[in-house]
Amino acid sequence: MSAPPAAQDHQQQRAATAAVTAAAVRQVWNTVDPDRLEASWLARAALVAELIRNGQMAAASTAEPWLSLEAGPGEGTVDPETAVEATGDLGVPLLYPLIIALNRLGRGFTTAMSILSGAYFLEMVTRSLVADAGRIADMAGMIARPRVVSYVRVIELPACARCIILAGREYTLSEGFLRHPRCDCTLAPRRPGDTWELASPSSLFEQMSPAQQRRAFGETAVQAIGEGADIAQVVNARRGMTTMTRYGREVQATTEGTTRRGLYGSRARKFEKAAGARYARAKTPRLMPEEIYRLADGDREHAIRLLKRNGYIV
């Protein structure tokens, strides 16, 4: 079966929020002056940052009411602003569209094509930032509810191959959410006694039209799957999905700041100033909710204390 109706509605609402935010940001990008690309984009930085933060807040703010309806009250209330902060500063992500456009111009591409390349990246990063804020809030809220013992991935077709092969899997609360740029999958809580199961990768594949199959998997892969090949063996599930390294080992963590050295140089500093960045680099990384649960080693009360200490619930 598909996801429970409430979880499906939650996923669709999140995807719509990301799409609306990306469209608004794209409109701002389309007003840049091709002859003054850098200066005109920097002049719009504060507006773009505000639009994205508003989209992230809208996404993160749905976690608490949805989870309260699905799993009851938690040991504290999810703070959507903290979930937004955990996605990081906007300075560098919003500088990249400019760098991409200028790079294309320097390589001899037309102005129109160069600006379009920057627009595509900007839309991708906006959707990703909005979705991440919502998923962080969801995870924190699930950990704060003792009735929730695990989570499953909610996928809405059309979807990419990397997400489809993860369909129907159940994860512990200490396992990070695998995602890629523009991923709009969400989480659904599992409680003792829940008997519903999500559609498997093969059943999702069968629900797709031939065109959707080719777009998601590629023609050769579709042919292999049609001849009996296992979908998970055809697709590299982890390609493009990464975790962070902190404390000398791999953890699910985030910092509130971004580096100003290397590629970005003075442009990054100017953009951060123009965007009105509110958050300074944290001296230590803020642990992600799933990392908190892993460190708590099954002690729910300790996990909730860490969620409060890291600002996820109040």
Does residue 159 sit within a domain? no
Does residue 293 sit within a domain? no
Domain that holds residue 80: 1-148+261-281
Do residues 118 and 172 touch, judged by C-beta distance below 8 A?
A: no
Q: Is the pLDDT of residue 186 over 50?
A: yes
**Least confident span in 42-46, 206-210, 223-227:** 223-227
Does residue 97 sit within a domain? yes
In 3-state terms, what secondary structure has residue 189? strand
Q: Write out pLDDT tens, residues 139-169.
A: 999 999 988 999 888 888 888 888 888 887 8
Q: Provide φ and ψ at 175, rounded to 5°.
A: -95, 130
Q: Point out which residues pair with 150 in neighbouring strands.
A: 172, 190
The count of domains in the chain is 1
**Least confident span in 72-76, 211-215, 254-258, 300-304:** 254-258
Does residue 144 sit within a domain? yes
Does residue 160 sit within a domain? no
Q: Write out pLDDT tens, residues 251-264.
A: 554 443 333 433 33
Does residue 169 sit within a domain? no
Does residue 109 sit within a domain? yes
Does residue 184 sit within a domain? no
Do residues 33 and 260 touch, judged by C-beta distance below 8 A?
A: no
Stated length of the chain: 314
Amino acid at 229: A
> Taking the model in full, what pTM does it have?
0.79
Q: Provide φ and ψ at 202, rounded to 5°.
A: -65, -40
When mean pLDDT is compared over 18-32, 181-195, 211-225, 287-301, the highest value belongs to 18-32
Question: Which residues, 6+ apart, have CB-to-CB distance to 269 below 8 Å?
Answer: 260
